Amino acid sequence: MAATIQVSEEIAAKANLIKEEANKLFANKKYEEAIEKYTEAIDLNPNVAPYYANRAFCNTKLENYGLAIEDGEKAIEVDPKYAKGYYRRGVGKYALSRFKEAAKDFRIVVKLAPNDKDARGKLEDCEKIVQRLAFEAAIAGDHDVKRASDTINVQDMLVEDSYDGARIDDGQVTKEFIDDMIDRFLKQKKIHKRYAYEIILQCQKYFTQQPSMVDVDIPVGQKLTICGDVHGQFYDFMNIFKLNGRPSETHAYLFNGDFVDRGTFSLEIILTLFAYKLLYPKGMYLTRGNHETDDMNKVYGFEDEVKAKFSDTMFKIFSETFVTLPLAHLVQKKIFVVHGGLSSRDDVTLDEIRAIDRIKKGQPGQEGLMCELLWADPHPLPGRRPSARGVGQRFGPDVTDHFCKLNNIDMIIRSHEVKQEGYQIEHNGKCVTIFSAPNYCDSVGNKGAYINVICDKEGEYKLDYVQFDAVDHPKVQPYSNRFRGF
């Protein structure tokens, strides 16, 4: 137990009043403001474990899992028998795929609070995942184990006469097929599994042949629309096309990662994106995000969603396909587009990024260049700092400026962070965050946004920022079980 700091009754009462203000801000989903108030209360009276636990909950809502873990630890230092401190630390560790450590924390919660059914359920989930990961690691050593993608023969899959949707003939995805598929999705209907497999496997083959950084050139008089995270919010995703036009041979889109997880229609989004990629190879570009990874998909719903709607085999094939997605794009030779951000090194060049052997590496892990491209965040102060997320790092305006000068580019566009207005321009205009999931998780109340990059004349471009609000969507039980929305 941490040493108690002497605090007068008057100061303790004042701290408690500030905590109540923070609670009201939290209830109104103003998490950053609530954090400031909880911090005020802690500064006045650092002896109250719930202040840290409450601040940890706010940081969890903001996906600052590293800070949530730190606050859980501080709550435990103040009161080693405070169950919620272990709970908050456990949730943070689980969110970062540190499943064994999370299980230890939830085990302590269950011991301290035997009637806590929620904690017991989380412990059971952790233990199941740890067992499954151990099994997967064991069979991974068997070199005779086939990739799931190699076990599927779509030609052997019979499409029943009763199937009333459009069909893919001779492996060719058509505009008519995509229009029919989208209409089915909007009505919460599925396409036949044969066509889902065909789309995924064809995209996997295509992306396997691409470099880790893809060049995108916009013809004069045309535009490229750059979108950020859409996170399974299919009806908001389709609203982008309603407002801005669907992909075509003359209007390209670049979706900058995090297509899946969180929302309940991730499968519909990724199949739509993949189908458009097959129809218009130069009309749809996709960047891998930190949620196109196995660790995230186990926690935030995509794995469970695909298994519920189709099968475990299909999820495995998605996993093998996500590995092939490019890590970045270079637009007009001047705009570097990446999901997360910049590296912890000052000497990273575009050529190095282009040459990353992403397919061999597979999952990005929690350190190194590939991880940082998917996880890093900008920071307003110079230099680099530890990430509030617990993975990657934060980079300042001087880091962005150096990277742009070193590589002779104008700016970077990245995603990865919810922004209240849908986008944010930082680092003297050289770093832009774009986020395209309005009212994120049905709770944040933010706008979504996208950027139209318009090519006026050869070698010149302009950026047009467009904001939009969330639209209604069917209420479907989330797929990520007990961890949805933490």
SS3 232: coil
pLDDT in tens, 153-174: 999 999 999 999 999 999 999 9
pLDDT at 139 over 90: no
Over residues 389-427, the pLDDT tens digits come to 999 999 999 999 999 999 999 999 999 999 999 999 999
Mean pLDDT of the chain: 94
Active-site positions read 291
> pLDDT over 70 for what percent of the chain?
97
Hey, is 283 helix, strand or coil? Answer: coil
Task: Compute CA distances 122 → 125, 162, 473, 484, whole Å.
Answer: 5, 42, 29, 12
CATH class entry, domain 9-139? mainly alpha
* pLDDT tens digits along 202-228: 999 999 999 999 999 999 999 999 999
**CATH 3.60.21.10 domain extents, the chain:** 154-483
Above pLDDT 90, what percent of the chain?
86
Q: What DSSP element (H or E) covers 176?
A: helix 175-186
Average pLDDT on 256-268 reads 96
Q: Which two tokens stand for residue 272?
A: 């739509």
Taking the whole predicted model, whether its pTM rises above 0.85 is answered as yes
Instruction: Taking residues 263-285, report their average pLDDT.
Output: 97
Model confidence at 143, pLDDT cuts 50, 70, 90, reads: low
The structure tokens listed for 164 are 């009333």
Among 392, 345, 344, 328, smallest CA distance to 366 is for: 392
Pick the CATH number of 154-483 from 3.60.21.10, 3.40.630.10, 1.10.10.10, 3.30.930.10: 3.60.21.10
What is each CA distance from 184 to 4, 166, 177, 318, in whole angstroms?
62, 10, 11, 21
User: How are beta strands 284-286 and 251-255 bridged, if at all?
Assistant: parallel
382-399 pLDDT, tens digit each:
999 999 999 999 999 999
pLDDT in tens, 64-115: 999 999 999 999 999 999 999 999 999 999 989 899 999 999 999 999 999 9
Calpha distance 455→403 (Å, rounded): 24
Residue intervals of the chain classified under CATH 1.25.40.10 are 9-139
